[in-house]
Structure 1
């Protein structure tokens, strides 16, 4: 009786595969949530489109090509340059900091509707403050390695 209880309360960890537990768990949770969203939202929406009650939102609408392609180009440049600049200053997080400032600035300008002096000051301050604060918290406070 005693050995059966001790076997029940003992824990054996396989360190070769233990790091895969939570990613696998999260993957299954995300898959179940995806199926729930498709069943509860997408299927009824497509049924309403088929009946003619709704229209697909991407058909028949004009596209803001400058913002769409500008966003894609900035994101590609951001990730590429973060690696390039990060290799110049390894293990300091300066790649993140020095590339995030112009990225946030240019993305904000791309989506800015009215270019007033006040809006440009706010965009500039945000472009410096947000990445700097994130860099200080992540790289210095929590000592997380950034590119």
Structure 2
């Protein structure tokens, strides 16, 4: 079975890279499970599935991965919360302070993670974002950025073959 990461990286079936990834099947399986856990958890808390998809697509667009952004756009298109769709675009705001703050924080964690400080967490709290939702947002950003880095690395390896 081909994983989402392999698909988005364009790893050709039967290639040396595909064979190498088969030796890391457990890592790839766990990556798929993490995707589902952060994107469509049973208990989304204050981050609706649509908001998660919009923020994930936004992070993908920040690093120029249109295929990954399109993947998350599909989740967004099937949601009932279309109000957050504007957040899928870098710089987009929806006018809801909590969601706009989450989008800014996702931007920070994607574009300049080393610049994130305790003050950034305090800014999230200041607009009423709960501790569990700050953790949920951090998990989403961590996973999507991990996924984007793995995809970028696999694309480089694919081009070397």
TM-score, scaled to structure 1: 0.23
Structure with larger Rg: 1
Higher RCO structure (Cα 8 Å, ≥6 apart): 2
